[in-house]
Structure 1
Amino acid sequence: MKRSLPFMLWILLITQIANGQGYYFPDRNAKWAQGVGVSQTFKPKELREAIRFAEQNEYSGSRDLRIAILKGFEREPFHEILGPTKKRGGPAGMILKSGYKVAAWGDTKRVDMTFSVTKSFLSTMAGLAADQKLIASINDTVAQYIWDGTFEGNHNSKITWEHLLQQNSAWSGELWGGKDWADRPPREGGIDDWKFKKPVEPGTVMEYNDVRVNVLAYALTHVWRKPLPMVLKEELMDKIGASTTWRWHGYEHAWTEIDGVKMKSVTGGGHSGGGIFISAEDMARFGLLFLNDGKWKQDQLISKDWIAQAVTPSAPNPNYGYMWWLNKKGGRHWEGLSENIFYAAGFGGNFIIVDPDHDLVVVTRWLEPNKVGEFMRLVNAALR
């Protein structure tokens, strides 16, 4: 009888996992459980090959991220470091199956910059605002909420929250010293061409642009009436048992006043410094929350409806939702992998990848970005 109980538990766990149930949610500071039988869903040799690939294909940029940032964006006019940076560690990552740790490599507790992975956290702040009715509709114009001139004029007044979330707002202006036209300019043309080009109609063209992302962060700060790092901590990170080590920074001079209180408006990325500094383990927790449709244990922290919206392709770009990349057919499609995969992606090879079809969350740090599709195919090949 004593020998049969563990066996029966093992059978129950495998049955639950097969039915997409029985997710494991680690408590704060707990050793991440590997789970009985979960490792049986992977082929050990192939799994080791995938991890070795991640370790051997480190991002080629400098480990001094200040140098890597300046080199990576050297073609942008007026580009400079405006927020904090941090020297990075080596390759690291985790693979979770149904919440259980299948594999880990590198220092998964090390806090590093995460660059545009921050955008997926930022869009979630909009989701929480929508869930709590601080924003009545994501299709409302932002000018209905932010009336200080940021969204005035014939063009900017048309911009909705959804346009900002899908990065197709074409917002025109300057924020914290950053000019929209100077951020990631086209390969052709020069300053006069970029500066005086008429903006396209909101909602028609997706343009990756950190100034416009920071406008979203600014607008959400005013909607929440408190700093977004505080919102993230109270509404999500504490509730999913994240560590106390992560930070969310803005530019040194990015201060606004709300209700007589001076507060920092954070950035949605790190290409001028700032953004979220976080460990691979805390990134994995965030991914696990999205894998389970916004539910952590028994608590629905983000609505399922919001997550469904967030991973719906935008009209201008089938590979982009609400600041989550989508593995749909398009320019960023990973061949041979599920089209239901969605992921957060940041400069230098930082990824939080969610694969609902296989109950997987995969986190990578400092993987050469053009190798991530090949890495995920190796992970996929390791599944039994």
Structure 2
Amino acid sequence: MNASAINDAVKFAVNNEYSGSRDLRIAILKGFKREPFHEILGPTKKRGGPAGMILKNGYLVASWGDVGRVDMTFSVTKSFLSTVAGVAEDDELIATTTDKVDTYIWDGTFSGEHNAKITWEHLLQQTSDWSGELWGGLDWADRPPREGDLDDWKFRELNEPGTVMEYNDVRVNLLAYCLTHVWRKSLPAVLKEEVMDPIGASSTWRWFGYENAWTEVDGVQVKSVTGGGHSGGGIFINTLDMARFGMLFLNKGKWSQDQIISETWIQKATTPSIPNPNYGYLWWLNTKGERHWEGWSEDLFYAAGFGGNFIVVDREHDLVVVTRWLEPSKMGEFMALLRKAL
């Protein structure tokens, strides 16, 4: 790799900090102010400055900022949630992602003609158009259209599951709720035992849910976590642990001599959905489409979160990149600078 080009990319990341407030409670409320009834329901934390790492062939090439600082990671959490689902399928707690969820969750959450059609794959690809309320969040009030009458959106005709992708945290939190009941214990415990401990992650990361998000599992109250920090909560983690998670996926689910996640699952998780070629199972894909980074392989995929949090996995160049608090609109330019180093 070209050292000068790497330095240019790192300098760019440092000089293009996310423009939102470092007080993330303020940044969240401002970022989602158009949503009706939006409020902070889970923990938040003031963030640090820009940070990141670049790893090539398993070696640390560059790092910047405080890589040991624990910060919110917002929708990067979704890719961790997807992985918990993957381990559930690997362990045969879920037979296949094409199963309908109501055969596993029969408490009325998937009752009705529309919701009964929803499969695990629909939830993982954000194509379910599930209709309902969870932890006080209404599905239609999460990221409504910027234009038009809100009542028209509220009473719209629902899309057939699997036909339209809509980014929606209420439905992602629904997936977390369903997986909590499939695993019959808290998802942070599952992630720790099944993934993070085996890859040598630190003990500093945490996964939070909303204040009221409690559900009973086998007579015990268990917190149902969130798939992001849209209303607070989600995974709080440092850059080093994010890089380890990226390396696990770069190595096709293998860590040292242990297969932590099956290659079959990773292939499914990074296969484009029909409604959105840039989205798999809660992972963004670099296939041709609106989110394609020119000059990079279509075998590249990434986790992305509010405020410029990214874990990028590029198999073509054996590369993992983590960014924290890089202005999201500048991520493509950052990747273009990094491409010059290869």
TM category, shorter: over 0.9
Q: What corresponds to 1:342 in structure 2?
A: 301
For residues 58 and 297 of structure 2, the distance between their equivalents in structure 1, rounded to whole angstroms, comes to: 19
Match of 2:188 among 209, 215, 229: 229
Q: What corresponds to 2:46 in structure 1?
A: 87
Aligned-pair CA distance for 1:333: 0.9
Match of 1:58 among 17, 25, 37: 17
Match of 1:194 among 142, 153, 157: 153
Secondary structure, counterpart of 1:147 in structure 2: coil
**CA-to-partner distance for each residue in 1:128-164, whole Å, 9 max, x for gaps?**
0000000011100000000001011100000000000
Secondary structure, counterpart of 1:77 in structure 2: coil
Aligned-pair CA distance for 1:190: 2.6
Which amino acid in the other structure matches residue 274 of structure 2?
Answer: A
Q: What corresponds to 2:253 in structure 1?
A: 294
Q: Pairwise mapping of residues 89-238 of structure 1 onto structure 2 (< 5 A)?
A: 89-238=48-197
**CA-to-partner distance for each residue in 1:327-375, whole Å, 9 max, x for gaps?**
1111111122211110000000000000000000000000000111111
Aligned length: 342
Query: Does the aligned pair in 1 maintain the 2:295–2:339 contact within 8 Å?
Result: no
Q: What corresponds to 1:378 in structure 2?
A: 337
TM-score, with length taken from structure 1: 0.89
Match of 1:76 among 35, 41, 46: 35
Secondary structure, counterpart of 1:234 in structure 2: helix
The sequence identity of aligned pairs, in percent, is 76
Larger Rg: 1
Q: Where in structure 1 do 4 or more consecutive aligned residues deviate above 2 Å?
A: none
**CA-to-partner distance for each residue in 1:107-134, whole Å, 9 max, x for gaps?**
0000000000000000001100000000
**CA-to-partner distance for each residue in 1:19-45, whole Å, 9 max, x for gaps?**
xxxxxxxxxxxxxxxxxxxxxxx1111
For residues 282 and 81 of structure 1, the distance between their equivalents in structure 2, rounded to whole angstroms, comes to: 26
For residues 337 and 356 of structure 1, the distance between their equivalents in structure 2, rounded to whole angstroms, comes to: 10
**CA-to-partner distance for each residue in 1:53-109, whole Å, 9 max, x for gaps?**
000010000000000000000000000000000000000000011221110000000
Q: What corresponds to 1:269 in structure 2?
A: 228
Unaligned ranges ≥5, structure 2: none
For residues 137 and 212 of structure 1, the distance between their equivalents in structure 2, rounded to whole angstroms, comes to: 19
Q: What corresponds to 1:285 in structure 2?
A: 244
**CA-to-partner distance for each residue in 1:281-302, whole Å, 9 max, x for gaps?**
0000000000000000000000
Q: What corresponds to 2:289 in structure 1?
A: 330
For residues 171 and 230 of structure 1, the distance between their equivalents in structure 2, rounded to whole angstroms, comes to: 27
Aligned-pair CA distance for 1:192: 1.1
Query: Does the aligned pair in 1 maintain the 2:82–2:124 contact within 8 Å?
Result: yes
Q: What corresponds to 1:45 in structure 2?
A: 4
**CA-to-partner distance for each residue in 1:196-244, whole Å, 9 max, x for gaps?**
1121000000000000000000000000000000000000100000000
Query: Does the aligned pair in 1 maintain the 2:42–2:233 contact within 8 Å?
Result: yes
| Residue 219 of structure 2 is aligned to residue 247 of structure 1 | no
Which amino acid in the other structure matches residue 190 of structure 2?
Answer: V
TM-score, with length taken from structure 2: 0.99
Q: What corresponds to 1:351 in structure 2?
A: 310
Deviates more, 1:368-377 or 1:185-194: 185-194
Cα-Cα RMSD: 0.6
